[in-house]
């Protein structure tokens, strides 16, 4: 029963997640793929909503028909099958269903005080998240942990990756299990004090993004079904103006930030999705949750693809013994502070201007004693068309790049590609053992074609150096070059094979992997050897900015038409349709996002230039003009 003084928002959140819970429990009976995840997540969502508002939400439950054992088995097998069909990789690689429940609960933890450890496991290998105290401790503490793990019967080797914040362990699964390894790490850290996990970027192996996207998809699908059912049964509908509370969250970002600080950004999105689903279902308005369900489906495929590419490349990237790193070593907690905020892209600038217009227009109509027009105007001037368009573009692009082998250590960078206007290339990646890489010229052409400023390190020579806008000074570390450009107002993409500090500092850090050395773990994206995938990422920055501009133009058209209907349309006909142009614009931008991402992936790779051996019979480079220094 709800608390006597529970706020309407708390009751609404509880009702939202109660509805999602009933839907997910019913789906278990039919063996739906993500039901086991949704049930556990809904429990966490109800608790999170209560914690965020200081109330206890009302959660109603239904009794499952049939055997719980059969339903659980169906959920597990369905999840495995769905993961395999989507990505070619099992969703539950080690068969541990309890990891799904842990992921569902972890989504509602404070980002700076997590209590649940993230674990990825497959047959014979496991990656275990380490507590903040272990990562901040002297190196000897982590060496002690590694030796302790390697003494376990069945463990072949263990390696601590400080920057990623995890320990990787290879073992014989006939003698020891992944859970045994996790328990050993837990015992070691408990002996040293409290276990707090500071959330960094989403690791590609994390289950939480996949679980969150699945629950959002279920919630939106339930809202669509409930809205149509209400129409079919001719139930009285909630006033359409009730949904105006949702755009207000964009106008009052402090409210969202406060909730995010309590239950994390993922938990916040789930709570808002639940409230939105209930409001639109009660208002019998299925279009908005239908659009959001498409975005949730795209994020679900994206998250599954991240796990799949990690599954494929983990053994290549994570090895027991690596040579000492040649570049700067980044210690745990040694993160680079950006000198100022990242410059706005087309969508950020659009949202900022739209928020001022929406708030001013809504207040103006309210002052004129026209509250219904005020509510309709706020909804008509909301930015989902641009936001969801980019979201779908980024999710599809991430999925397609994962299929090509790019490991997204922070997949959020695909949402920042449209804000890049400078590229810093560590010149080492441009040269092979006998001269320039065959794709070096094509990469430089892609940078120029996107209109970015090109900065090379001092090792660049000849024609390659002559194409740069600037050659960094020999005594300037790469990380300082990145910081300098950021301080000058640039969004910076950096490419290197061995400088994690610079890649951490960059707005988008791309590491080119090499078979003979460890990857630069500070990167946002880790490519395969060679420059083909780097070329595609750089090309995608130009396409992302062009797409964002087109998206803003489309969204703005919907906003203007909707604003006119809300302000001047007839109360019985035009005004109620004030959100229709915006919904249409959203559908168009999402379709554009899918097409643009697919088109970028289908673009053929450039023909490789001749190698140095082909250019000169002796294998030496021909004379080149002197490099231009800046």
Q: Is the pLDDT of residue 32 over 80?
A: no
- The CB density around residue 112, as the number of other CB atoms within 10 Å, is 12
Look at residue 41 in the predicted model and tell me its pLDDT: 39
Look at residue 42 in the predicted model and tell me its pLDDT: 36
Contact 169, 134 (CB under 8 A): no
Predicted structure pTM score: 0.82
Model confidence pLDDT, tens digit, residues 83-124: 554 444 455 555 556 777 777 777 888 777 677 888 999 989
Look at residue 61 in the predicted model and tell me its pLDDT: 34
Look at residue 489 in the predicted model and tell me its pLDDT: 95
C-alpha 121: how far from chain center:
21
Q: Is the pLDDT of residue 527 over 50?
A: yes
What is the spatial distance between Cα 11 and Cα 82, in angstroms, rounded to a whole number? 34
Q: Is the pLDDT of residue 312 over 60?
A: yes
Q: Is residue 292 packed enough to be buried (19+ CB in 10 Å), middle (13-18) or exposed (0-12)?
A: buried
What is the spatial distance between Cα 282 and Cα 271, in angstroms, rounded to a whole number? 17
* Mean pLDDT within 361-389: 78
Look at residue 328 in the predicted model and tell me its pLDDT: 52
Per-residue CA distances from 246 to 17, 221, 280, 288, 306 (Å): 17, 18, 10, 11, 30
Q: Is the pLDDT of residue 19 over 50?
A: no
Work out whether the CA dihedral 327, 331, 332, 336 comes out positive or negative.
negative
Per-residue CA distances from 194 to 18, 129, 187, 197 (Å): 34, 14, 11, 10
Per-residue CA distances from 94 to 41, 106, 120, 311 (Å): 20, 19, 9, 12
* Mean pLDDT within 304-315: 95
Q: Is the pLDDT of residue 139 over 80?
A: yes
Question: To which H or E segment does residue 526 belong?
Answer: strand 525-527
Look at residue 253 in the predicted model and tell me its pLDDT: 75
What is the secondary structure of 343-359 as a DSSP string?
Answer: PP-HHHHHHHHHHHHHH
Work out whether the CA dihedral 546, 550, 555, 559 comes out positive or negative.
positive
Contact 567, 373 (CB under 8 A): yes
CA atoms within 13 A on the CB side of 563: 18
The β-bridge relationship of strands 155-161 and 422-425 is: unpaired
Q: Quick one: pLDDT band at residue 322, thresholds 50, 70, 90? A: low
Model confidence pLDDT, tens digit, residues 574-618: 888 999 999 999 999 999 999 999 999 999 988 865 443 444 333
Q: Is the pLDDT of residue 264 over 50?
A: yes
Look at residue 338 in the predicted model and tell me its pLDDT: 87
Helix (H, G, I), strand (E, B) or coil at 230: helix
Model confidence pLDDT, tens digit, residues 411-440: 899 999 999 999 999 999 998 777 888 999
How are the residues of the chain apportioned to helix, strand and coil, as percentages rounded to the nearest 5? Answer: 55, 10, 35
β-bridge mates for residue 509, sequence order = 494
Look at residue 367 in the predicted model and tell me its pLDDT: 54
Question: To which H or E segment does residue 598 belong?
Answer: helix 580-602
Per-residue CA distances from 506 to 161, 427, 543 (Å): 20, 16, 20
What is the spatial distance between Cα 382 and Cα 388, in angstroms, rounded to a whole number? 12
Q: Quick one: pLDDT band at residue 78, thresholds 50, 70, 90? A: low
Model confidence pLDDT, tens digit, residues 441-482: 999 999 999 999 999 998 888 888 899 999 999 999 999 999
Look at residue 215 in the predicted model and tell me its pLDDT: 93
Look at residue 51 in the predicted model and tell me its pLDDT: 42
Q: Is the pLDDT of residue 39 over 60?
A: no
Question: CA torsion 235→236→238→241, rounded to 10°?
Answer: 120
Per-residue CA distances from 533 to 85, 394, 447, 512 (Å): 25, 16, 14, 9
List, in sequence order, every beta strand (DSSP E) within 419-507. 422-425, 453-456, 470-471, 492-496
Look at residue 473 in the predicted model and tell me its pLDDT: 92
Range with lowest mean pLDDT among 5-9, 133-137, 300-304, 332-336: 5-9
Look at residue 605 in the predicted model and tell me its pLDDT: 84
What is the spatial distance between Cα 229 and Cα 235, in angstroms, rounded to a whole number? 9
The overall longest dimension of the chain from CA atoms, in Å, is 87
Range with lowest mean pLDDT among 38-52, 160-174, 373-387, 535-549: 38-52
454, two tokens: 């090109």
Q: Which residue has the higher pLDDT, 407 or 613?
A: 407
Look at residue 109 in the predicted model and tell me its pLDDT: 81
Rg (the chain; Cα; Å): 26
619, two tokens: 């294998």
> Percent of the chain scored above 90 by pLDDT?
52
Tell me which residue has tokens 């040694």: 334
321, two tokens: 């013994």
Q: Is the pLDDT of residue 20 over 60?
A: no
Helix (H, G, I), strand (E, B) or coil at 329: coil
Q: Is the pLDDT of residue 70 over 60?
A: no
The β-bridge relationship of strands 125-129 and 470-471 is: unpaired
Helix (H, G, I), strand (E, B) or coil at 369: coil
What is the spatial distance between Cα 378 and Cα 253, in angstroms, rounded to a whole number? 15
Q: Which residue has the higher pLDDT, 48 or 601?
A: 601
Per-residue CA distances from 234 to 113, 137, 226, 230, 559 (Å): 47, 64, 12, 6, 31
DSSP 323: P
Look at residue 622 in the predicted model and tell me its pLDDT: 40
Q: For the chain, what is the mean pLDDT?
A: 80
Range with lowest mean pLDDT among 204-213, 328-337, 566-575: 328-337
- The CB density around residue 283, as the number of other CB atoms within 10 Å, is 19
133, two tokens: 């105290």
Model confidence pLDDT, tens digit, residues 207-228: 889 999 999 999 999 999 999 9
Look at residue 330 in the predicted model and tell me its pLDDT: 55
Look at residue 73 in the predicted model and tell me its pLDDT: 52
Q: Show me where the domains of the chain are located.
A: 1-111+206-316
Q: Which residue has the higher pLDDT, 239 or 362?
A: 239
Look at residue 81 in the predicted model and tell me its pLDDT: 52
Contact 554, 255 (CB under 8 A): no
Contacts of 617 (CB under 8 A, 6+ apart): none
């Amino acid at each position: 029963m709800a608390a006597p003084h529970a706020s309407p928002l708390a009751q609404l959140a509880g009702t939202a997640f109660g509805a999602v819970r009933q839907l997910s429990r019913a789906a278990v009976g039919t063996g739906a793929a993500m039901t086991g995840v949704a049930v556990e997540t809904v429990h966490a969502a109800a608790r999170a909503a209560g914690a965020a508002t200081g109330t206890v939400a009302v959660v109603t439950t239904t009794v499952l028909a049939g055997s719980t054992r059969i339903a659980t088995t169906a959920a597990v097998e369905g999840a495995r099958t769905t993961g395999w069909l989507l990505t070619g990789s099992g969703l539950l690689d080690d068969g541990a269903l309890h990891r799904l429940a842990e992921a569902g609960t972890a989504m509602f933890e404070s980002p700076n005080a997590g209590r649940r450890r993230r674990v990825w496991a497959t047959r014979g290998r496991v990656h275990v998240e380490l507590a903040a105290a272990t990562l901040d401790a002297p190196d000897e503490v982590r060496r002690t942990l590694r030796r302790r793990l390697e003494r376990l019967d069945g463990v072949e080797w263990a390696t601590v990756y400080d920057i990623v914040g995890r320990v990787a362990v290879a073992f014989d699964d006939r003698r020891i299990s992944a859970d045994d390894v996790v328990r050993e790490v837990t015992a070691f850290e408990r002996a040293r004090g409290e276990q707090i996990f500071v959330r960094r970027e989403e690791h590609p192996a994390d289950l939480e993004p996949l679980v969150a996207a699945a629950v959002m998809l279920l919630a939106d699908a339930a809202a669509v079904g409930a809205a149509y059912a209400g129409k079919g049964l001719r139930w009285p509908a909630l006033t359409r103006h009730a949904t105006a509370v949702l755009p207000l969250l964009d106008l009052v970002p402090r409210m969202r930030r406060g909730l995010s600080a309590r239950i994390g950004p993922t938990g916040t999105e789930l709570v808002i999705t639940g409230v939105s689903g209930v409001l639109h279902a009660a208002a019998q308005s299925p279009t908005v949750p239908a659009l959001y369900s498409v975005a949730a489906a795209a994020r679900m495929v994206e998250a599954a693809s991240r796990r799949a590419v990690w599954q494929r490349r983990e053994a290549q990237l994570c090895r027991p013994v690596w040579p000492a790193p040649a570049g700067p070593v980044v210690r745990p907690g040694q993160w680079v502070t950006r000198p100022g905020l990242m410059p706005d892209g087309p969508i950020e600038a659009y949202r900022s201007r739209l928020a001022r217009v929406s708030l001013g227009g809504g207040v103006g109509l309210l002052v004129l004693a026209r509250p219904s027009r005020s509510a309709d105007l706020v909804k008509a001037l909301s930015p989902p068309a641009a936001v969801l368009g980019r979201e779908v573009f980024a999710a599809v692009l991430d999925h397609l790049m994962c299929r090509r082998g790019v490991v997204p250590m922070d997949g959020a960078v695909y949402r920042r590609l449209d804000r890049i206007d400078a590229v810093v290339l560590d010149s080492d990646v441009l040269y092979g053992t006998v001269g320039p890489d065959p794709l070096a010229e094509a990469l430089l052409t892609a940078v120029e074609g996107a209109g970015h400023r090109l900065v090379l390190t001092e090792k660049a020579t000849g024609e390659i150096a002559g194409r740069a806008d600037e050659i960094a000074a020999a005594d300037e570390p790469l990380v300082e070059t990145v910081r300098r450009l950021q301080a000058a107002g640039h969004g910076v993409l950096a490419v290197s094979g061995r400088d994690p500090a610079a890649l951490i500092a960059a707005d988008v850090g791309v590491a080119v992997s090499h078979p003979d050395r460890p990857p630069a773990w500070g990167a946002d994206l880790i490519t395969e050897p060679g420059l083909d995938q780097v070329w595609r990422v750089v090309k995608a920055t130009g396409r992302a900015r062009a797409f964002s501009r087109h998206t803003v133009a489309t969204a703005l058209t919907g906003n203007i038409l909707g604003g006119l209907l809300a302000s001047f349309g007839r109360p019985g006909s035009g005004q109620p349709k004030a959100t229709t142009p915006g919904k249409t614009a959203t559908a168009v931008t999402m379709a554009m996002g899918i097409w643009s991402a697919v088109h970028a992936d289908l673009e053929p790779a450039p023909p490789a230039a001749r190698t140095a051996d082909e250019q000169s019979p002796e294998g030496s480079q021909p004379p080149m003009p002197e490099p231009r220094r800046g």
